Chains A and B, each alone.
Chain A
């Protein structure tokens, strides 16, 4: 589609049905922009103006929202938008070479749209397919298990302008890869069983069971679920038509995590039952599922499931025949922003805004979605709640360890023979897990993703539990042949890319440390850069507004502590090296003249061509 045809009138006509479908509710802005972009291909300025007018919002606010999310395009991307998942596990499987190969085949430069507007190729943060990478998204659809051969075929399909529907279905296949089942993954219940059990118990008794179970949140922070539920239930609603809300956090953006994807694709009944049980217990009549944009391919099946529930009286009015007991579930799609997994940023995003974490207090349990009492729970937490509804809190409390009851799903990827989902009772040792997944020569495990902790070999006897090594689920294994510096560098760039930019320390600090890591990576770093990283780590930990910034330097700190030689062998001296890099300054000139020989370089790079990329 060409730019010229976006006259205001046509755009308004195009927008009208989808604005109507969302009742011109400004809180639906993110959904409306998503749908509008699907129709137009991108979000041209006139479209933002028309959207602002239709929703009676300031135009600058609409532009601000559109400019926040990675999957919104303010300029035309290629008609085929290819985004390679850029997690370290994808890289270890060769995604970098595959990206170059595709660019070469298509005669394009990474990050730029081809001259005919046909295609653009770039990277995106982890798409949650680490067990079957390398992975990419093409026009938002997930592709897995890429290989050189597949990349060549994909370049042909793109050049032939084949619609995605005509691409081999095999390319889009996403496996569950469930390798070990415990209480959750071996549950085989009918939809509604858990909800019925909860209704049978009554909401007070259900809360008592939750308390007995001592279930703690599986999304990372490990907050006791019963306390959250009880607080929201007690909190007064505001205004006349005040409602309570239950939000299921399916943003799953932490690199290396993909267990919620499997729950949503093969245990959706349990997820929706868990949401309904929670809604029933806290007195919420509305549930919202916040699904990360990368998992958009799950949407049709999830919607169908909700339809089925509605038909069987498990959703809508008078649940399970109980007059006055209503519960609706809506699905909201994210648009590419890791920070939206943080619960208050998620609420902002649900309200159609930029995903900026809120100031706390107040906490969501008293003032959450639309200012009403809101519980935000992880997908897995809600599944566990469904189990508890059926089998009782005492049964659950008997599993796992004292402070970490029940089981935990681990998303295992990296240098292992059998990547996939493993469910263990809490308390399992890292060693045991490594043995089960076939990690013969592990030198390190990144537990709970870049925000978590990097364990070295001497720590493998530690156990997975809140009282020892807590985790939201990621378990990335690095074999002895891996360069832990590159692992940390990948994570530093992840945080730089995903910082929401709200607060100074994280916005600027994540860029500064990524620059430090690049400098060290090029062999131009000194002890000075290492000291910088420590200093910035301390500042971000102390002064950042949310967990993203607080954790952003963890992987650097850990690897500097435990894998120091990986850094030191790159340092060019132990003294200060000026930041201004004469060789780098000539990069543009080299590109223009097409030269890359030693004589076109300065300093270290002249001695070792290829060091400075």
Chain B
């Protein structure tokens, strides 16, 4: 008997039971845009960048288990248009000034914006007020860029066993908090050795005093578009950054 497979943009892609559409695609080195997904952590399904059409219905590729014979659309104008709008939403929701950001070139949000040809943020920016937390000796938290993907939350809770990060608020006021009455990272047991220190897909959790060690222009997504780096994305381990 053949192994079960899905039809991804017309291409048969095998999977093993329990794998999601995202898992199957990644294993076959097919790129489905994603931000909140990371192969090392429990799927979350919140950014919705991975929205695909499975048997005619819009679903999240990172959370939906693959089923034999499932027909999945991924790289279509309609889906890429929706993803572009989602990226624009994330850009205007926070404060993202790429030219002055030290994550520039290593940032998945920026890389996806290039990949999906997002030419402008399109919507009026919200300019939220999100003060920076520089209290920690090793690490700076620049909340301005947080896209609320909860990777740091999952890493700290599920791997580090510390629950340094959590979300509070609701709706558009939802925001990242740290595990201290003072609200300061310095008053938590966070350390640069934590998994959570290395998972942020954008430029929130930054090691102090190392910002521009690799010059802009030579960084991960400067060298090769994110859509060509599926093998690396699939093999990602949070020890190595991003």
Contact = CB atoms under 8 A, between A and B. Distances in A.
Interface of A: 45-46, 48-49, 58-61, 63-64, 66-70, 337, 354, 359, 361, 496-505, 507-512, 515, 532, 535-536, 538-539, 542-545, 579-580
A68 B168 contact: yes
Contacts of A68: 168-170
B92 interface: yes
Contacts of A579: 124
A500 B170 CA distance: 5
B169 A508 contact: no
B48 interface: yes
Contacts of B82: 538-539, 542-543
Given A60-B179, A539-B85, A67 B46 contact: no
When A and B form their complex, which 7 residue pairs have the shortest distance between CB atoms, in order from nearest?
A67-B168, A60-B166, A58-B163, A501-B174, A508-B89, A60-B179, A499-B171
Contacts of B179: 58-60
A361 B177 CA distance: 29
Interface in B51-94: 51, 58, 60, 63, 65, 82, 85-86, 89-90, 92-93
29 contacts: A58-B163, A58-B166, A60-B164, A60-B177, A64-B166, A67-B170, A68-B169, A69-B170, A359-B43, A359-B63, A499-B170, A499-B171, A501-B148, A501-B171, A504-B90, A505-B86, A507-B148, A507-B171, A507-B174, A508-B93, A515-B124, A535-B85, A536-B85, A539-B85, A539-B86, A542-B51, A542-B58, A545-B45, A545-B60
Contacts of B126: 511
A509 B89 contact: yes
B181 interface: yes
Given A543-B51, A544-B48, 14 more contacts: A46-B181, A60-B180, A64-B177, A66-B168, A67-B177, A500-B171, A501-B170, A501-B173, A501-B174, A508-B93, A509-B89, A515-B124, A536-B85, A539-B86
Given A58-B163, A504-B89, A515-B124, A543 B48 contact: yes
Nearest to A361: B65
Interface of B: 43, 45-49, 51, 58, 60, 63, 65, 82, 85-86, 89-90, 92-93, 123-124, 126, 148, 157, 163-174, 177-181
B85 A502 contact: no
Contacts of A539: 82, 85-86
Query: Would you call the interface of chain A mostly helix, strand, loop, or mixed?
Result: helix
Contacts of A58: 157, 163, 166, 179
Contacts of B43: 359
A64 to B, nearest CB: 4
Contacts of B169: 67-68, 501
Contact of A543 (B86, B93, B164): B86
Nearest to B175: A67
Contacts of B63: 359
B161 to A, nearest CB: 10
A66 B166 CA distance: 12
Contacts of A46: 181
Contacts of B45: 359, 503, 545
A536 B81 CA distance: 12
Contacts of B124: 515, 579-580
A544 B89 CA distance: 13
Contacts of B49: 504
Contacts of B173: 501
B166 A63 contact: yes
Contacts of B171: 496-501, 507, 510-511
Nearest to A506: B171
A503 B65 contact: no
Contact of A508 (B51, B60, B90, B178): B90
A545 B48 contact: yes
B221 to A, nearest CB: 20
